[in-house]
Chains A and B, each alone.
Chain A
Amino acid sequence: MFDLFSDAAKVAAQMEILSSEYGFALWETLYSLALEVLFAYVIGLPLGVLLVTGERDGIRPLPRWLMAVLNGIINLLRSVPFLILMIIALPLSKIIVGTKVGTAATIPPMVIAAFPLVARMVESSLREVDQGVVEAAQSMGAGAFQIVSKVLLPEALPSLISGGTITVATILGYGAMAGIIGGGGLGKMAINYGYYNFKFIVMWAAVIGLIVLVQVFQSLGTRLANKCDKRLSKKN
């Protein structure tokens, strides 16, 4: 490994790759991340809400079999290893985005892997909301939709943001694996150049980029969650 570093020509070649491709890889990582998080929440958020409201003594109980099916699907998707899930789901990409390769193709499998996580995260956030507050809203004549939109979600907001931060970090991690099936971004850079082609400088640069991204998102998320949590606000 140190031989490679000592070889000035190879170092220069790697620097060349970095300077020409790093920016684009970072961009690809960020935009696929944004799309994946967006769609994971489009599916996962309502699902998480249903998991709480549809319970037997929830605010709008659903048939027991339906709840069992929802829980079953989520558990199933959560237990299949991501790498396998991704390969199984690739044909779906062909249907949805029209291709089985490239960054766009990795988005559907990523969403399928991430939405069950989001659903569980949302579920546990909503369960933290004091049942008494829900009862108070019911006593005021609130309907199920009003309870979700005006009580459960706003009261759980800090916790939802924390969950969102975890989701972002997890999806960033999945992104590296998506590199294996041709997804673009820093993860692909690390695997393709670094691991497969022994360009360790490129690999480390990509990995460090991912580390920095996770750090940034984590601290932003934590700060945002704290800022909007009125239970923590300072005394007047």
Chain B
Amino acid sequence: MVFVTGIGTISAIGKNVSETLSSLLESRTGIGKINHLQTIHKDNYVAGEVNYSLQELENLAGLKNSNYNRTTLLSLLATQEALTSAGIKDASTYRTGFISASSVGGMSHSELLYKDFLEHNPHENFIDTHYTGAHATDVAKHFGITDYVTTISTACSSAANAIMLGARLINNNILDRVIVGGADALCKFTFNGFNTLMILDKEWCKPFDNNRKGLNLGEGAAYLVLESERVVKAENKKIIAVLSGYGNANDAFHQTASSPDGQGAYAAMQKALEVANFFSNKIDYINAHGTGTANNDSSEAAAIQNIFKKNIPPFSSTKSFTGHTLAAAASIEAVISILSIQNNTIFPNLNCVTPMQDTTLFPVTSLQKNTEINHVLSNSFGFGGNCSSLIFSRN
């Protein structure tokens, strides 16, 4: 059994778990005007930007002249909150690991500084932080985590895969506890690229709506502290949630598009249910991947239909709050799934009005409180056909 004993998050809807919950309960989206990223698309697109400049993030972390890039600072802040919430002051007391996911790495820094670097003014420190693994190494070092540190990079399912690996390491008694999740900052490279694929919506995204036009990009970080039963008992830890199930599969269809009937998604959800040893009717709520693209939402709906058949649980995409936070998405949404359990509340799929024509499925579109939520399925499907699903349960 793997227990969640700490959570931490930062995104467009809050700099910590408490602010995040407030935004969710008030149905207040974090998607809006781009203030900090200096991109040519600034005035034409909306995004889920963390509303702090690089300097402000450093201040929040209590650092000065750290040379940490935006991804690293987001990672550090969320890790700090997770460790505090788990009551961990000294990582060395148990075999502790740090598994983090990122797709952007130090790109947000590099793209600003490399021209200058080529011409006359080397900012040498930033070169070392470009590499995707740098953020994990820096953050692990900052918190004194040394037993196991690695970086996963599998696009939008990355953080779910980090969580899965962490769970396996605990279940196999390789680690006693592990901090798992992901971080990605907005950057011009990503904006430009998604624009080229023509899957960005210039306005607020509409996941699962028939007239959806695409996704909104977001940024952020989130981490869970997973601990073994032994540590929880020895330290008398408060259990926030249980990671009951997990599954990963490859869609084997296309580099970026999902198969029309969502085979990879189906396989991932199926595996997660098998690991949890549940029938599908135990799931009280699905936090969907729901990016708002024509392709994903149809494909995911088809997969959900095939798994759950006549008993479709309520579902929503909270990317209408945070935007698509790429490699951090699965961990931010894991925290949101856990908040759903803690508060017996289903957070709405904002901005969805018209049901999709190719399915009878329709998400929850307004806040639903006082709803018993014991088990949540959280989906994250990445480019490269990498599909992951996690199941969180009340203790």
Is the pairing of A and B real?
no
Residues of B within 8 A of A (CB): none
